[in-house]
Structure 1
């Protein structure tokens, strides 16, 4: 049997006792929103999970947050949580002082394990006011060295069911800790699906996404993190409007040379041709130092991307941001004066290692 190692764990024995019974089996979601391949046989040898989460009560915990809270804070060693198939509702927060948390879905594919909540920016907060965009996140990761593999994160806020809520930003995952890595993970939502951020404007926090699926409509990959998307599928939902939406909204600080990098990705949509923008520059609180960067290279684009793929954001012009492409192809990669291109020399500095390594030589692209 062929074995692959993710997160330092050989796929297999982490799932050695994952026979589905009861609610966990019946709660497994249908295969919608993405086409990631199955992980394959999970029956090999390898390091065991520290705890198992199972919705039917057959594991150590029935909920994700309970398992996270069981991690020994002072240990500093990775704490591996195996999650059996099912849908797990409820907010998950991983604090900055937590040890490295590894979440491993124990199904055959990412669709089988769903970790979700359903709050938006404008959803009333029981403590008063509303949740806000940051508070809407289904999963918040402030701890360093977080890992996730073979599962789905979602924000299930139903826009149509809540016409009274106008602030509809609804985050599936918010990352602020350094060295977060995701492999074969799905991120589902509408507006503001994936918030790749950092603890402060001038603090660098790196995140790596490999063979992931990310879907949404408005600014659905946003924030000031240094984030690399490697061989991911980025899917823009059809809102039935024009524009249909914006893929990225980076707010990279001017002191950070690296924002968002998409390498060998595929940009897809069911939206009509030329109705989706690749990005627009977000300036939180009108911060003039938020000079966002999105670089897309060696990637395929479908026809939903038009010849002018970048958009202004309010009074902030896109031409002042750090937007660039290199060697993209497909019907949505139409050459035009509105598509800044890297030179080969510039492209040699806009690479996965350049974005990720840092002084600690972090190299998840070599080890996942």
Structure 2
């Protein structure tokens, strides 16, 4: 098996054997380092992401790729595609194609770095060029876990964007001590994700009464769990008013069937906030409804009480209980554990 040039790394990786160092003569780009990884992925292929801003759009389609940075502020992977912008072939990127990093293989790992979508969301809020594909053409994903991704581990990673920052659409994933920032629907998808001890940072949107939504799950009804936030801190940028950010809303994405395209009835989003601290920007009502197309073509609002949206042991000025903001009892909350959400995946640090 051909092996990429081995590099003895300094700083936090002094005792870690690396298979490639991005920024070296042999691997000037991340794409070059990933291309050198063996296709079978039997062993981790460790890539040191050197200090700098790496303007690349990456697809991780080989198992066991590990990206190890030199710190969130030093190693930054960045791209600026948005759903309404055009690919080189003239077609729009779309939500499923615009991510800075797309993972389509198991056992991906990233540590001590930043993954961002640097699209100028605020500067394009009213840009007419996004209207042909709908009012949400400014969706700009930073990280997407796509079909094929599973057992993805991210530790000490800054995931930055605005709308649709983190798209966890497949498999199981674990986020530890990360910071995830955005405004609209910025943690979303159908995957099973456990987010632990993370900072969830809401970003300012000028001129918007409803500043944003955090968790937007599209979990299949057959899955017991979707997005779980455990011991996270829900924070805000300057300028975001009290009570202006929803914990989230339930997404029922459209799907094509023999009799037309409409909201997938097999989807019933699941999101839980466990023992999280919430600043005062969190709305008292907690969750918002979200529209979808019914089978008969009508636009219908999926109400929070009709989805699986819950809290337990919320704290801080944004914590509240109300008829529309359901808390699990202690026995039910105990059933929402990392082991159950990740379904037998053994985490090896």
- Aligned ranges for residues 199-348 of structure 1 at < 5 Å? 205-240=171-206, 241-270=208-237, 271-285=240-254, 286-314=263-291, 315-348=301-334
> 1:114·1:151 contact (CA, 8 Å) conserved in 2?
yes
TM-score by length of 2: 0.87
Establish whether residue 122 from structure 1 lines up as the match of residue 91 from structure 2.
no
Partner in structure 1 of residue 143 of structure 2: 173
Question: More strand by proportion, 1 or 2?
Answer: 2
Q: Which residue matches 1:182? A: 154
Are positions 1:156 and 2:118 aligned together?
yes
Tell me how far apart the structure 2 counterparts of residues 355 and 151 of structure 1 sit (CA, whole Å). Answer: 25
Shift of residue 17, structure 1, vs aligned partner? 3.9
Give the corresponding residue for 1:140: 102
Structure 2: unaligned runs, 5 residues or longer: 1-5, 131-136, 255-262, 292-300
Aligned length: 314
- CA distance in structure 1 between the partners assigned to 2:232 and 2:87 by the alignment: 37
* Cα 1:159–1:306 shift into 2, 3 Å: closer
CA RMSD of aligned residues (A): 1.6
- In the alignment, which residue of structure 1 is the partner of 2:298? none
Show CA shifts across 1:224-262 (max 9, x none). 000000000000011131100000110000000010000
| Mapped contact 1:15–1:43 kept (Cα < 8 A) | no
Cα deviation 1:147-204 (Å, max 9, x = unaligned): 0000000001113444244310000000120100000001000000000012xxxxxx
Instruction: Tell me the TM-score normalized by structure 1.
Output: 0.82
SS at 1:158's partner residue?
coil
Residues 16, 42 of structure 1: 8 Å contact kept: no
Specify the alignment match of 1:102 in structure 2.
66
Q: Would you identify which runs of 4 or more consecutive aligned residues in structure 1 move more than 6 Å?
A: none
User: What is the 5 A alignment of 1:77-92?
Assistant: 77-92=43-58
2:272 partner SS: strand
- Quick one: distance in 1 between partners of 2:269 and 2:114? 27
Residue deviations 1:324-344 (CA, integer Å, cap 9, x gap): 100110000022222101111
The separation in 1 between residues aligned to 2:72 and 2:7, in whole angstroms, is 14
- Structure 1: how far apart are the matches of 2:226 and 2:41? 32
Shift of 1:43: 6.2
